[in-house]
Structure 1
Amino acid sequence: MQKNNLLIIFFTLILALIIYTSELSNIQSHTLFITLITAMLWVTEKLPIPVSSLIPLGTFPLFGILSSKQVAQSYGSPLILLLLGGFMLSTAMSQTHTHRYIANKVIGFIGTQSQTRLLLSFMLTAALLSMWISNTATTLMLLPIALAIVENNSCKKFSTILLLGIAYSASIGGIATPIGTPPNLILIQTLQNSGQPDIGFINWMKQVAPVLFIILPVTYLYLRLFINNKAIDYDLKKLSITSSQKKILILFLITAILWMTRVEPFGGWRELFNFPTANDASVALLAVVVLFTLGDDKGQKIMDWEAVNKIPWGILLLFAGGITIATAFQETGLSHLIASKLTFLNDYPIWLIVGIICISVSFLTEITSNTATTAVLMPILLSTAEAINVNPIILMLPATISASFAFMMPVATAPNAIIFSSGKVPIKEMIKTGIGLNLIGALILTVYFSITQ
């Protein structure tokens, strides 16, 4: 441990020497040094990631990089408020076991008669749920159901593949909507900070849904290679829907419709009702207010403030730190400086650049937080896109999706860690199965974005 600390101190001193003797201005040097130190702490987790995220929030005003007002705006970003509202809504779904009811219906509809049908049932359920609630909650909910099915199954290989299918699908489903996983919102915020057009729910889903519809079936077919089609003897318990679950489902459905129709079609309801500054956060927070007014059959409130403590507040701090770094890169001119140094990439085909980005991010997030990785990479990729005169989406969206396509290591994603903790998935099997899927995912993203953009 002491040796590692000495290495970090040595690396920090070398880093400072390189940065502060370069052509950068003082403000740019401070910005880059603080960013790299924060990134290093995110990767090594020498401090809890949310605590490391406070470094730019505290030091940027101190060194005159950003004003206190600019830093405070990171906390009040509409996308942080959207994430907060999304967390509260998904917590209500967990509190009322609404997600368990949905899972029961989907799995029951597709069937549990054979290994392949059962795998498909769980994968579709995980992907569907993780579009709207966290992939962590999705995996935690589906794991005990899957374990109950496989505990009487003598085929260890099928048990492993079924659990991996849940983890992989939970990660894949998160790419489909802006609130599906935090890296999506980091991309959107970075684009907004740079003056790019707003990406609404429908626009996001238009661009990402085709990827989901390709990668999910491919993942299913890939995992099918490892199992046979033997019959499974399991009777799924039928669950009746409660009044609380009905209310949550109706509220969630209305919220999703309002998200998707805010700016489309024909200008959306924002233009129709003359709410020009309305955003997705407005919808989420008003839905939360309605949520706290709903009661169950016994006259008790469905949601209380104590339940809100379960929200992953640390993610919001990490998100705020990432937004602050992206803003600092823009304000200090670091983004433009990086762009000027990357013009040599014009000599390379776009498919090669996208492919390198996808593979690099996919394997990097095997050992680092995908949210932290995205927070560091987004301003750099924005500068790269400017340098080679391409639409930033061509580089930034594949990178963001790749951050969710880490399938090899237990530490790569929360779903991977949860599945590994069951004791049913040996790490050797996870690596062996996941490495092929990492490469397949990178290949699909490279081909898709090279052709369509």
Structure 2
Amino acid sequence: MSDIEENNSSRTFLQNFGLVLGIAASFFILLFLEFDSNNQLLQPMAAVAILMAIWWITEAIPLAATALIPVALFPFLGILNGEETATSYINSTIFLFMGGFLIALAMEKWNLHRRIALKIIRFFGGKPNFIILGFMLASAFLSMWISNTATAVMMLPIGLSILIKLEEEFSVERTHNFSVALMLGIGYSCSIGGVATIIGSPPNLSFTRILKIIFPEAPEISFGDWMIMGLPITIIMLSIAWIFLTKVYFKFAKDLVIDTNIIKDEQNKIGKMHFEEKVVAVVFAMTAILWIFRSDLNFGILQIPGWSNLFGNPSYINDGTVAIAMSIILFVFPTRKSVDKSKTILDASVFKKIPWGIILLFGGGFALAKGFVSSGLSEYIGSSFVGLGNISHIIMILLVAMFINFLTELTSNTATTEMILPILASVSVAIGINPLFLMLTATLSASMAFMLPVATPPNAIIFGSQRVKIYEMVKCGFALNIIGILVITSVVLVIGVFVFNIDLEAMPLWAK
């Protein structure tokens, strides 16, 4: 699960430039451009969209503050009334994120995430290449359920403790390549793991909601459906990243032997599994199972009916329902030992840790998508791209994957997807391609930025360890970016077609 890291340092030239440019560009559109004399909402909607896009890209003001612009401007400009705009900021997708985050916070509070990570790492023994694999698997698994940043912050000191011991025994020079491979392995795996589940990365959740806003009749994207497509991407990318790091770019001496007692000592520090951990583990496992099997799972030739069919109105129950129901249990169970004076597994103090900035960012993206549709701007943009219908659909998908992939090296992946998805939806309809193709590709590609420290918080955290030089990250990251583009395109075209019943030749009725 990824999150947003705001820059609290002094303002940069880019931020100041973006602040002025955004205002100037929006006023220029309002005063001097006319898109369609029969629709007076196109200009104000385009002005708001450009303002938000520029401010999001340059971070002229905090991302969450930019996300509130629709609340302030939509009613004044006649795009949506205040009530309609406000409803974008709280919905079932927000509750899915919130419930999942509460369970993740419980895992962190009671150290379950650390126990899982150490167990996985120790399982792979003392061979250096398998130690790296263990770290990567642990990082990816945890990032499927908890914040990418929290995972990287937790895994980094464990990795550094191994490196320090190894450097004392074999010298810094001899262990350098192993050090780089381990650090990059942790950072990259945090991003790769977020693709596997619908709550693993904010862009995934943004996609599901924006799809429903623009195409109300579109089929629901359930947790299980997403995992059938997302998990193979994670497995393939983890395997390739591990091979690239240990066999291609950063080869290291085979006689390096790592003392697994370091991991054993870390396990001894957290002791035996206590009552609170067991409760969180059971709730976590039950939640994952309920999410995966809630709705029908389509494997092409095999379909597994979901448990929600047992109820009179299965459509009434969504993944957000499950997330909140299971997280409430954690506020009910009493504790047997005191942590921060807690009397239950989770208490009121946990709400201070919920990333409200991300929730507002979600809402801003959803409001923007709703504005695109209600103003007619979505349809107008689509009609402008009719000429692209002659381009091969596969080429279009590859171009979208490449554009989003490299754009998110410099911008927030959540803000980027929320800006781009409504446009891609319109373009898809105009050129006669199933919107799921381009929208899924863009969403998944936003999590595959490996080149630069600023691309993702895990990249920045790993770079901050001072064990990785920028050229080393760029060298391996560029190759993984290209591989990621190809893997995502292939999986969407092969697995996505079956999971979401996509017809390669025809537009679905819900998109017409």
Give the TM-score range, shorter chain: over 0.9
Q: Give the aligned partner of residue 373 of structure 2.
A: 330
Q: Give the aligned partner of residue 57 of structure 2.
A: 43
Given residue 192 of structure 2, which amino acid in structure 1 is its aligned partner? I
State, as a whole percentage, how many aligned pairs show the same letter: 40
Matches within 5 A, 1:368-407: 368-407=411-450
Q: Give the aligned partner of residue 148 of structure 1.
A: 161
- Whether the 8 Å contact between 1:31 and 1:329 is mirrored in structure 2 is yes
Following superposition, the deviation at residue 107 of structure 1 comes to 0.8
Following superposition, the deviation at residue 287 of structure 1 comes to 1.3
Cα distance in 2, alignment partners of residues 302 and 8 from structure 1: 44
Does residue 173 of the first structure (1) align with residue 186 of the second (2)?
no
- Whether the 8 Å contact between 2:140 and 2:194 is mirrored in structure 1 is yes
* 2:238 maps to which of 216, 231, 246: 216
Seen in structure 2, the aligned counterparts of structure 1 residues 140 and 14 have a Cα distance that, compared at 3 Å, is closer
Cα distance in 2, alignment partners of residues 283 and 189 from structure 1: 17
- Which aligned runs of 4 or more in structure 1 are off by greater than 4 angstroms? 1-4
- Whether the 8 Å contact between 1:354 and 1:450 is mirrored in structure 2 is no
Secondary structure class of the residue paired with 1:151: helix
- The answer for unaligned runs of 5 or more in structure 2 is 1-10, 298-303, 498-512
Following superposition, the deviation at residue 327 of structure 1 comes to 0.7
Following superposition, the deviation at residue 7 of structure 1 comes to 7.0
TM-score, structure 1 normalization = 0.95
Worse-matched range after superposition: 10-19 or 288-297: 10-19
Cα distance in 2, alignment partners of residues 150 and 2 from structure 1: 35
Given residue 322 of structure 1, which amino acid in structure 2 is its aligned partner? G
Cα distance in 2, alignment partners of residues 340 and 218 from structure 1: 40
Cα distance in 2, alignment partners of residues 407 and 14 from structure 1: 32
TM-score, structure 2 normalization = 0.84
Pairwise CA RMSD: 1.9
Following superposition, the deviation at residue 79 of structure 1 comes to 0.2
Cα distance in 1, alignment partners of residues 235 and 161 from structure 2: 29
Following superposition, the deviation at residue 9 of structure 1 comes to 2.8
Q: Give the aligned partner of residue 133 of structure 1.
A: 146
* 1:204 maps to which of 209, 226, 233: 226
Q: Give the aligned partner of residue 271 of structure 1.
A: 309
Matches within 5 A, 1:223-372: 223-224=245-246, 225=248, 226-228=250-252, 229-234=254-259, 235=261, 236-237=263-264, 238-239=267-268, 240-264=272-296, 267-276=305-314, 277-298=316-337, 300-372=343-415
Secondary structure class of the residue paired with 1:87: helix
Given residue 408 of structure 1, which amino acid in structure 2 is its aligned partner? M
Does residue 9 of the first structure (1) align with residue 31 of the second (2)?
no
Given residue 73 of structure 1, which amino acid in structure 2 is its aligned partner? T
Seen in structure 2, the aligned counterparts of structure 1 residues 16 and 122 have a Cα distance that, compared at 3 Å, is same
Secondary structure class of the residue paired with 2:332: coil
Following superposition, the deviation at residue 157 of structure 1 comes to 2.1
* 1:73 maps to which of 81, 87, 102: 87
- Whether the 8 Å contact between 2:22 and 2:54 is mirrored in structure 1 is no
- Whether the 8 Å contact between 1:91 and 1:308 is mirrored in structure 2 is no
Cα distance in 1, alignment partners of residues 127 and 204 from structure 2: 35
Following superposition, the deviation at residue 308 of structure 1 comes to 2.5
Cα distance in 2, alignment partners of residues 377 and 341 from structure 1: 16
- Whether the 8 Å contact between 1:115 and 1:227 is mirrored in structure 2 is no
Q: Give the aligned partner of residue 206 of structure 2.
A: 186
Given residue 203 of structure 1, which amino acid in structure 2 is its aligned partner? D
Matches within 5 A, 1:53-64: 53-64=67-78
- The answer for unaligned runs of 5 or more in structure 1 is none
Matches within 5 A, 1:69-108: 69-108=83-122
